[in-house]
Amino acid sequence: MALDKPYLDVPGTIIFDADQSRKGYWLNQFCMSLMKAENRERFKANERAYLDEWDMTEEQKLAVLARDLNWCMRTGGNIYFLAKIGATDGKSFQQMAGSMTGMTEEEYRNMMINGGRSVEGNRFVGENGDAQAQNQPQGAAGKKVN
Amino acid sequence: MAKITASVFTSHVPAIGAAMDLGKTQEPYWQPLFAGYQYGKQWMQENKPDVIFLVFNDHATAFSLDFIPTFAIGTAEKFQPADEGWGPRPVPVVKGHPELASHIAQSVIQQDFDLTIVNKMDVDHGLTVPLSLMCGQPPAEKFEWPCPVIPFAVNVVQYPVPSGQRCFNLGKAIRKAIESYDEDINVHIWGTGGMSHQLQGARAGLINKEFDKAFLDKLINDPQAAADIPHMDYVREAGSEGIELVMWLIARGAMNDVAGGKAPTLKHRFYHVPASNTAVGHVILEN
């Protein structure tokens, strides 16, 4: 019997289950290493060389170098592990979470001050809320890139 | 005999700790949040426990993917504040209570809950932010927390995570364990994390006030109904990280009324949006 995954129909969300964890094992373990100050220094001094010490896929390394947290998550990263990269860069959790929405920092911060993202339209894939695939990217940051 | 006199519930957002550490609590963004904890700080001074049993989750800090215990009880004499990547928070070392922790481990394991016993565990914001909120920043001349703390870590990071009902039942077992400890001490049990929040993907920033307020109502008045919430409801309604709320049910399950005693007294209830990405909830119940 396959793993029961009742959470696959939640839009804009990747649940960190056993399959994701297996896929992201070395990516996440690399992230853990950044909890030591000397490793943060070594990583910052030569990111690519530091990443090459880990048994990560090339795609995972590119996702980290690009600081694309959505990409990191698709390759098995978990936000609490990935947060160590953000911390190394001096970023807050709000900056990290916001970076995954396509909004600028200011847009995301304002959304939170105004009560956060509504759940309406964002419960199930196929609705039309702002987190649905058809409504990405959400803000000026994402639009600039594309 | 030891007694659980109160339960405290609070979110444990890391940015709250950063705001306190950087002296930003009076900034307009943070002022309403900290105002909501004034009562709790005062109450803590007037109702100082001998030990705090603090339920929290480790955020990929002490536990990497090497080991992922579902329930882990800290039985060490002390626990260091962790370096989560920003450097350790400038807060005191957390002193444990090895005797009571070992007693609880023995009792709860014999009540059929498989706890992992941990003696080496740096504690992250999940544990230190609630202490800072309720105790304030300890002064330099007496740089310590007001009492020993037993850290109790719950896995809500990698699925499968324990159900609300499992957590609630565990709370009942912890109550029995504490109340069978010989020494006459006064124990608080704290449940932390939540409320609605999602830190990932296109749905990051989700807040659901209706869900949160209904959860607080149930937590206070009908905890079994809160325990009945299936885990998918947390994910769908309260965001992927809203699942942390199951930890509140451990603390709630340890209150007297769940074992047939009288209903607890609601001393304080507070709700605020936002702290960084998160809705903040805070409740104090006395037995």
The per-residue pLDDT for range B234-285, each reduced to its tens digit, is 999 999 999 999 999 999 999 999 999 999 999 999 999 999 999 999 999 9
**Is B59 part of the annotated catalytic residue set?**
no
Per-residue pLDDT reduced to its tens digit, B37-46: 999 999 999 9
* Three-state SS at B46: helix
Q: Of B125, B188, B231, B272, which residue is the catalytic one?
A: B125
The span from the CA of B68 to the CA of A19, in Å, is 15
Cβ contacts (< 8 Å) between B213 and chain A: which residues? none
Residue B283's DSSP bridge partners are: B9, B269
The span from the CA of B36 to the CA of B32, in Å, is 6
Contact B85 A116 (CB under 8 A): no
Q: Residue A4: inside a domain, yes or no?
A: no
Query: CB neighbours (10 Å) of residue B145?
Result: 18
Q: Residue A8: inside a domain, yes or no?
A: no
Instruction: Find the closest chain A residue to B272 by CA distance.
Output: A115
Q: Residue A13: inside a domain, yes or no?
A: no
CA–chain centroid gap for B9, Å, is 6
B14 cis-preceded (ω within 30 degrees of 0)? no
Instruction: For residue A47, give how far its alpha carbon lies from the nearest alpha carbon of chain B (Å).
Output: 16
Per-residue pLDDT reduced to its tens digit, B81-116: 999 988 899 999 999 999 999 999 999 999 999 999
**Is B197 part of the annotated catalytic residue set?**
yes
**Nearest alpha carbon to residue B177 among B265, B282, B71:** B71
Q: Residue A134: inside a domain, yes or no?
A: yes
Domain edge (last residue) among A88, A119, A134? A88
What DSSP assignment string belongs to A41-101? Answer: HHHHH-HHHHHTTS---HHHHHHHHTT-HHHHHHTT--HHHHHHHHHHTT--HHHHHHHTT
Dihedral of CA atoms A98, A104, A110, A116 in degrees, nearest 10, equals -30
Mutate which of A15, A26, A130 to disrupt the B interface (most B C-beta within 10 Å)? A15
> How many structural domains compose chain A?
2
> Do A82 and A127 have their domain in common?
no
Contact B54, B13 (CB under 8 A): no
The range of the structural domain enclosing residue A124 comes to 101-145
* Residue A3, pLDDT score: 83
Q: Which parts of chain B are beta strand (E)?
A: 3-10, 51-56, 71-74, 78-79, 94-95, 116-118, 149-154, 186-192, 265-275, 278-286
Burial pattern A105-132, b for ≥16 Cβ within 10 A else e, equals eebbbebbeeebbbbeebbeeeeebbbb
The span from the CA of A129 to the CA of B182, in Å, is 56
Instruction: Find the closest chain A residue to B200 by CA distance.
Output: A97
Mean pLDDT of chain A: 95
- Tokens for A77? 């990263």
The span from the CA of B111 to the CA of B180, in Å, is 13
- For the domain made up of B3-286, the CATH class stated in words is alpha beta
Task: Determine what percent of chain B is predicted with pLDDT higher than 70.
Answer: 100
Contact A83 B85 (CB under 8 A): yes
Residue B3's DSSP bridge partners are: B186
Per-residue pLDDT reduced to its tens digit, A47-85: 999 999 999 999 999 999 999 999 999 999 999 999 999
Contact B11, B195 (CB under 8 A): yes
Residue A119 near chain B (CB below 8 Å): yes
3-state helix, strand, coil in chain A (%, to 5): 55, 0, 45
B49 cis-preceded (ω within 30 degrees of 0)? no
Q: Residue A1: inside a domain, yes or no?
A: no
Residue A111 near chain B (CB below 8 Å): yes
Per-residue pLDDT reduced to its tens digit, B20-41: 999 999 999 999 999 999 999 9
> Do A82 and A108 have their domain in common?
no
Enter the pTM of the model. 0.97
CATH number of A30's domain: 1.10.700.10
Q: What does R_g of chain B's alpha carbons equal in angstroms?
A: 17
Q: Is residue A142 pLDDT above 80, yes or no? A: no
* Residue A2, pLDDT score: 82
Q: Residue A12: inside a domain, yes or no?
A: no
Q: Residue A96: inside a domain, yes or no?
A: no
The span from the CA of A29 to the CA of A21, in Å, is 10
In this structure, is the dihedral angle defined by the CA atoms of residues B155, B157, B160 and B165, taken in order, positive or negative? positive
- How does DSSP classify residue B160? S
Q: Residue A133: inside a domain, yes or no?
A: yes
Interior angle at CA B271, CA B227 and CA B10, nearest 5: 60
* Residue A144, pLDDT score: 59
> Do A108 and A68 have their domain in common?
no
